[in-house]
Amino acid sequence: MTKYSFLDDYSEGAHPNILKALSDTNMVQQTAYGDDAYSQEARDLLRQHMGESNPDIWFVASGTLANILAISSALRSHEAVVAAASGHIVVRETGAIEATGHKIINVPPIHGKLTPKSITAALDANAHFPHMAKPRLVYISNATEVGTVYTKSELVALSKLCKARGLLLLLDGARLGAALSADKNDLTLEDIADLTDIFWMGGTKVGALFGEAIVIPNPKLREEFNFHIKQRDALLAKGRILGLQFRELFRDGLYFDLARHSNDMARRLSDGITKAGYSFVPETETNQLFPILPDDLIDHLKGHFDFYVWEPFDASSSVTRLVTSWATDEERVDEFVSEVQKFTS
């Protein structure tokens, strides 16, 4: 990998504070399976952002596991998930949710998002009971898989609908840091804890080696959740290293600083590409960018950088995907923009 990569936000290791904390605590003996002191400190730090909800918090190894746990612990076998057709659980988890026995009802997304209207339509089309699985949990991502974010009023509307219709609301926050640090964002972690039944926050994409934090505001969903974590093996014997990473991320706001850096780098890229005359689908809101570029420019850029060609746009241009991260080097961003502008002018 000699070319600079904008493929994803997990091509580097971890923020140095995390490596230092691992070193500093390495030979201290700690209780296994998440009952260690560092996980407790991390939970305390996270709960300071959650207001009254005082949620249960679990640190698990990865994101698909977080989705598996949230869904399979909450649902009976006849209950289904409602999700955008673009949702990570629909198109990037190798059928992991179905492998736990649950149907996912696909809803056409609007820029990666669900709306009360689109959910209501799915409920109406899935009401021939008991011949149809019962919709019971709504899955959303923030930021979405196309980098867009939910505003507070949008999330409030979803939450109201869910309560009115007896649906649980799960928010996949693999990139929640980027969402909460977006210019367009007006949500806080406290809002999210108030408006959802269960959500999780990614560490992997915000400077951790790995690890995600599952937060459970709804007390009913907390019951015997620990059994599920063990059954799916989402928690490590040395759970301390999960807790320690979140302690570092939330000690002095590092989590938000790193997410903001990735957004800043995305905006810098986005502004430069826009100046060169190109547009985006959808508009850039977080650290994923989807510029529409001429195929010959793409060929040129591929000589210097790694990034995805997402899908054809027309006969001579394509939608591409660039991702920035907590570790993205500003100089390389400027080089990319410079190559685009040179080629175009």
Map the footprint of a copy of itself across residues 321-340, applying CB under 8 A.
327
- Name the residue nearer to a copy of itself (CB basis): 184 or 230: 230
The binder of a copy of itself chosen from 17, 62, 118, 151 (CB under 8 A) = 62
Is 80 near a copy of itself (CB under 8 A)? Answer: yes
Is 48 near a copy of itself (CB under 8 A)? Answer: no
- Name the residue nearer to a copy of itself (CB basis): 155 or 168: 168
Strands 317-323 and 288-289 turn out to be antiparallel
Site string for a copy of itself, 125-144 (x = CB under 8 A): -x-xxxxxxx----------
Segment near a copy of itself (CB under 8 A), from 114-122, 180-188, 219-227, 253-261?
Answer: 219-227
Is 77 near a copy of itself (CB under 8 A)? Answer: yes
Whole-number minimum distance, CB 271 to a copy of itself, in Å? 24
The binder of a copy of itself chosen from 95, 253, 277, 312 (CB under 8 A) = 95
275 CB-near residues (< 8 Å, 6+ apart): 341
108 CB-near residues (< 8 Å, 6+ apart): 84, 85, 118
- Name the residue nearer to a copy of itself (CB basis): 204 or 262: 204
Structure tokens at 236: 């490590």
Q: Where are the alpha helices (DSSP H) in the chain?
A: 16-25, 37-47, 63-74, 88-91, 96-99, 116-125, 152-165, 176-180, 189-195, 219-222, 225-231, 240-251, 254-275, 295-302, 330-344
The binder of a copy of itself chosen from 52, 224, 314, 331 (CB under 8 A) = 224
Calpha distance 78→106 (Å, rounded): 16
The binder of a copy of itself chosen from 137, 215, 221, 229 (CB under 8 A) = 229
287, 181 in Cβ contact below 8 A?
A: no
Instruction: Return the number of other C-beta atoms located less than 10 Å from residue 108's C-beta.
Output: 11
The single residue listed with the structure tokens 């957004």 is: 263
- Name the residue nearer to a copy of itself (CB basis): 133 or 179: 133
Q: Applying CB under 8 A, what is the total number of residues that bind a copy of itself? A: 76
Is 228 near a copy of itself (CB under 8 A)? Answer: yes
Residues 231-290 contacting a copy of itself, CB under 8 A: 231-233, 236-238, 240-241
Is 175 near a copy of itself (CB under 8 A)? Answer: no
- Name the residue nearer to a copy of itself (CB basis): 97 or 297: 97
Is 302 near a copy of itself (CB under 8 A)? Answer: no
Whole-number minimum distance, CB 115 to a copy of itself, in Å? 20
Structure tokens at 30: 């700690």
The binder of a copy of itself chosen from 5, 17, 188, 344 (CB under 8 A) = 5
- Run of H or E including 320: strand 317-323
- Name the residue nearer to a copy of itself (CB basis): 113 or 240: 240
Structure tokens at 50: 């959650």
Site string for a copy of itself, 303-322 (x = CB under 8 A): --------------------
Strands 198-202 and 212-216 turn out to be antiparallel
CA nearest to 205, candidates 146, 139, 258: 258
At what angle are helices 240-251 and 16-25 packed, to 10 degrees?
130
3-state helix, strand, coil in the chain (%, to 5): 45, 20, 35
- Name the residue nearer to a copy of itself (CB basis): 54 or 77: 77
Surface-to-core class of residue 59, CB atoms within 10 Å of its CB (0-12 exposed, 13-18 middle, 19+ buried): buried
Whole-number minimum distance, CB 277 to a copy of itself, in Å? 29
